[in-house]
A and B are shown apart, each in its own frame.
Chain A
Amino acid sequence: METRDQKSCIEAGFLDNALVLIAVLDEKGRVISWNHAAETITGYSRDEVVGSANIWKHLYPDKEYRRGVTQKIADILKTKNYFENLETVIRTRSGDSHTILWNTKTILEAGMPRTIAVGMDVTTEREATLFRNSIIDNANVLIAVLDPKGTVQVWNKAAEVITGYSAGEVIGRHDIWKKIYPDTVYRRSVTQKISQVITEHNSFENIETTIHTKNGEERILSWNTRQIGTGGTLHEIAIGRDITDQRKAEEALVAYMTEMTMRLKQPVSIVSSTLLESAQLMKNGLLDKDETIMVFEGQARNAAQIEANIQEFQKAIVEKNKSIPEAYRKFLEG
């Protein structure tokens, strides 16, 4: 049979070898026990901590922040004698900040109330989450994550900028698609297209749709999706790239090329016909010298202008849409 001393030794062993910060406090918040992980995480040794409540001032040196944490704990303890997953940021002895997830339990030891505070150092996880969120938020593509019921879980900053709908208006709901595809027939056609592709491939790439933004503008998005597994359930991540400007530039370039083709082909035909007609008029003796000169000079001017148009066209092709005249671009934009 296990003696009281043996039991005490085993408990001390557990306490010291635990990978989480464990502190046992008396009713006044004074530290009774401070394990090895607590020493490692905070940088404060057992000898410095046990017997006083001063450690909290060291861990929370900012008076305002400490007051906030104390208030939060007091609020929780008004309704129950423990708290779960309370997250605070402590300052270690070396001056580093660590994020600790606290859980507590109050027990009676020899009739005296004791609080066991267990703190898990989640600094690495939180930094990874922040980093992930930062990547998602700073991506210049719309990122939406949907749960299996289609409820939006993530709506990044680019999604807000592109659609005009804030994360607050979208997250936790599934009516964003009705807002960005207000036309029922179009929405149905998009849904059918997406369903068909997903049935065949579980994901889709480069499907283009036209969305309506909150302020009524139309934007063209190229969508890619993937299924991602989190906690045993499959989520859908939808990435939408705003290709409106690219499409407009392509359309403008095609329109400009069509325009320039017309502006070269037609005038060349006209110049050719005019010269042939003039030759016929000369044969018939209908053109005098001055008129002949005038006609030839006129056609030479036309030819020179056509040459200039060809050069402008070549430049536009080389520099792509940068050289499309502003007036024509505005004209194309209506």
Chain B
Amino acid sequence: MPDYIDPHELEQKKIFLILASPGMIRQRNSDIIREISALGYHTVVITTNFPYSVLSKMYAQCSIPPGSVSFIDAVTRNSVGTAENIPGVVRYINNPANLTDMGIAVTEVLKEHSGQKVCIMYDSVSTMLIYLSSANISKFIHFVTNKLRLMDVSGVFLAVEKGLDPMLMTQLTTFVDNVVDTG
């Protein structure tokens, strides 16, 4: 299986933009978490499409240790209305368009894992386009990447390949250290 993330670059707390086809993006999500977990990192997945409960089952199927992943879930509360946070496992926000809550959740989760080997995975930039303009997405990713750099944490942003408009793509490219097109 190919390595999508260079361990040396992960060690250097670099930030990656991973591009994949729509049909492969879920597979890439699992592949990358498995790679990162094997390197002893804890992954915080920000999910805007599948709820945490479904993703955790998918990861279990891919032999990803449950304790190596926690979630910021922007889907579940949007469907069921209420859901209680499970410390160390999942933190819910009301909907994917609420960037303020998402920003707060990222900050708090990073504080919880302060001193550990942590990687943030944002799944995905493409789903966010349903609810937000590229201008707002760009601002939010700028905020998150700044936060990651300040807290010396690496990050992975997933997006569907060949669909981002050149302006957004150019901006994302300037925020991250590496763009990996996985096909």
A contact residues vs B (CB 8 Å cutoff): 255, 258-259, 261-263, 265-267, 269-270, 272-274, 276-278, 281, 286-287, 290-291, 293-295, 297-298, 301-302, 305-306, 309, 325, 327-328, 331
B86 within 8 A of A: no
Docked complex Cα distance between A234 and B179 (Å): 60
Are A286 and B79 closer than 8 Å at their CB atoms?
no
Chain A residues contacting B164 (CB-CB under 8 Å) are: 262, 266
Docked complex Cα distance between A297 and B53 (Å): 15
B147 within 8 A of A: no
Query: When A259-B165, A262-B165, A294-B75 are in contact, do A302 and B54 touch as well, CB less than 8 Å?
Result: no
Say which residue of B79, B80, B124, B134 sits within 8 Å of A259 (CB atoms): B134
Chain A residues contacting B151 (CB-CB under 8 Å) are: none
Are B130 and A267 closer than 8 Å at their CB atoms?
yes
B58 within 8 A of A: yes
Chain B residues contacting A309 (CB-CB under 8 Å) are: 130
Chain B residues contacting A286 (CB-CB under 8 Å) are: 54, 57-58, 61
Chain B: interface residue count, which band? Answer: 35 or more
Are A258 and B26 closer than 8 Å at their CB atoms?
no
Are A262 and B133 closer than 8 Å at their CB atoms?
no
Query: When A277-B26, A281-B58, A294-B79 are in contact, do A270 and B49 touch as well, CB less than 8 Å?
Result: yes
Are A266 and B58 closer than 8 Å at their CB atoms?
no
Chain A residues contacting B79 (CB-CB under 8 Å) are: 293-294, 297-298, 301
Nearest neighbor of B167 in chain A, beta-carbon distance:
A255
Docked complex Cα distance between A330 and B80 (Å): 36
Nearest neighbor of A264 in chain B, beta-carbon distance:
B129
Say which residue of B22, B53, B57, B61 sits within 8 Å of A270 (CB atoms): B22
Are A325 and B133 closer than 8 Å at their CB atoms?
yes
Min CB distance, B125 to chain A, in Å?
A: 9
Chain B residues contacting A306 (CB-CB under 8 Å) are: 130
Known: A259-B167, A274-B49, A294-B79. 11 other contacts (CB 8 A): A266-B163, A273-B23, A278-B54, A281-B54, A291-B51, A294-B80, A295-B50, A297-B79, A302-B127, A327-B133, A327-B135
In the complex, chain B residues 6-51 whose Cβ is within 8 Å of any chain A Cβ: 22-23, 25-26, 49-51
Query: When A262-B168, A298-B49 are in contact, do A273 and B163 touch as well, CB less than 8 Å?
Result: no
